[in-house]
Amino acid sequence: MAKQQPKLKVAMVGGGNESFMGRIHRAAIEASGYLELVCGAFGSTRQRSFETGKALGLDPTRVYGVYRDMFRREAKVTGEGRVDLVTVLAPNNMHYPVTMAAFDAGFPVFSEKPMSCNMDEAQNLKRRTLMSPQLYATAYVFPFYPALSALRDAVLAGTIGNLRRVDIRYYHGWMGIRLETAGNRSAGWRVDPRRCGAAGAVVDLAGSCAYLAEWATGHEIAALCAAGRTAVAGRILDDDATILLRMDNGALGHIAVSQIALGEADGVQLSIYGDKGSAHWTQATANTWTLVAPDGKRTVQTVKGAPAPEPGDGRFGQPYGDDAAYIAALAAAYKDFAQTILAEREGKPRESRFVGVDPALRVATFNTIAARSIVPGADDSTAKWLDFTVPKVELLV
């Protein structure tokens, strides 16, 4: 019998007991079959971190109050106990410094999205990957939904013809009341420009949709025009936004995102229209996709064995992600990242599917341009069309 491959060891930054995504990522890490959590710096305070480590049953000597202390000590560990990768679940403003510190310590990084809050950091991170052998991934999980991948394959194969339009809707209702003043930590950092970035719903939701629009259609966004506002009084950042798109072939589309659409909790809805038909997918029914012919005939394609989410169940009052299909997709992303680490160690080339630094840089660019386009409180007539150009990043001499 072949010897079983030991699980790769994960260090986690952020994701404490009160973190919604911490629980989701830990479930995905376990479900991947390739990884195990062994250490972490889990909270914004030492007490929160140590409480989380104790609740998870981790070795107390490998639970840290500060991520830099963790990297400094864990970098010295050798042999089978050494950390194989770092997962970053802290608020947005911490993704860049934690990633760079992990690279300095010699660890690959699997980070929650986005890669950074600003373009200077995003370009520096890209530049660092040109210099460093360490792998980098962001937690965009769309490629790991089997039915959505089947839809994309059909679109790229020309099943619906030439792209005419792409529409994406991503509505949440859980921030429709001012949870951030009631101590909700997940809501708190999303409305804080120091921790979230220059925009709210745009950064939290629309960036993922921009990645999906390009990945699923095979076309890049060429220009955009965004309008957003703060619907809940007292907030600084937008919590509701619409972004018009012009794709590189001239096709139009839009991304509509909201954190305040009361009663909504079913995630992304995608529609792609061509000159021979259309294709549709939703996270609420993630194991199916629908092909629609010009005469309106609908053919539902089902991927057998894929987990089926239960629409709305357990997701009201929190962000999207607490369902079997999402966790399975995230677990598959972790597995793919782990398999790539192992392949690199053995010097074997491998075609990976995880979302790396270049698509993440495109999302950072989208977030920046959309935030510039938004005129808070104004109507659509004052918004501006802006070209979507990703800066070329080269090594500094």
Q: Is 344 domain-assigned?
A: yes
**Which of 129-138, 217-226, 331-340 is predicted least confidently?**
129-138
pLDDT band at 222 (very low <50, low <70, confident <90, very high): very high
Q: Are residues 115 and 189 in the same domain?
A: no
Q: What is the pLDDT of residue 364?
A: 97
Q: Are residues 221 and 340 in the same domain?
A: no
Q: Is 396 domain-assigned?
A: no
Average confidence score pLDDT of the chain: 92
Question: 223-232: per-residue pLDDT in tens?
Answer: 999 999 999 9
What domain range is 92 assigned to?
Answer: 8-142+326-356
Q: Is 392 domain-assigned?
A: no
Please report where in the chains the tokens 């938004």 appear, as a residue: 374
Q: What is the pLDDT of residue 1?
A: 41
Q: What is the pLDDT of residue 314?
A: 47
Q: What does the pLDDT average to over 318-346?
A: 94
> Taking the chain, what is the end-to-end CA distance rounded to the nearest angstrom?
52
Q: Are residues 38 and 64 in the same domain?
A: yes
Q: Is 153 domain-assigned?
A: yes
**What's the whole-model pTM score?**
0.94
Q: Are residues 331 and 352 in the same domain?
A: yes
Q: What is the pLDDT of residue 305?
A: 79
Q: Are residues 215 and 180 in the same domain?
A: yes
Q: Is 397 domain-assigned?
A: no
Q: What is the pLDDT of residue 212?
A: 98
CATH code for the domain of 19: 3.40.50.720
Q: What is the pLDDT of residue 306?
A: 78
User: Does residue 397 surpass a pLDDT of 60?
Assistant: no
Q: What does the pLDDT average to over 119-132?
A: 94
Q: Are residues 203 and 288 in the same domain?
A: yes
Question: 22-35: per-residue pLDDT in tens?
Answer: 999 999 999 999 99
pLDDT band at 215 (very low <50, low <70, confident <90, very high): very high
Q: Is 159 domain-assigned?
A: yes
Q: Are residues 50 and 64 in the same domain?
A: yes
Percent of the chain beyond pLDDT 90?
82
User: Does residue 250 surpass a pLDDT of 60?
Assistant: yes
pLDDT band at 377 (very low <50, low <70, confident <90, very high): very low
pLDDT band at 48 (very low <50, low <70, confident <90, very high): very high
Q: Is 104 domain-assigned?
A: yes
Q: Are residues 233 and 306 in the same domain?
A: yes
Q: Is 98 domain-assigned?
A: yes
Q: Are residues 330 and 376 in the same domain?
A: no
Q: Domain count of the chain?
A: 2
CATH code for the domain of 178: 3.30.360.10
Q: Are residues 73 and 149 in the same domain?
A: no
Question: 80-124: per-residue pLDDT in tens?
Answer: 899 999 999 999 999 999 999 999 999 999 999 999 999 999 999
Question: 312-330: per-residue pLDDT in tens?
Answer: 554 567 888 888 999 999 9
pLDDT band at 355 (very low <50, low <70, confident <90, very high): very high
Q: Are residues 367 and 292 in the same domain?
A: yes
pLDDT band at 3 (very low <50, low <70, confident <90, very high): low
Q: Are residues 157 and 230 in the same domain?
A: yes
Q: What is the pLDDT of residue 378?
A: 46
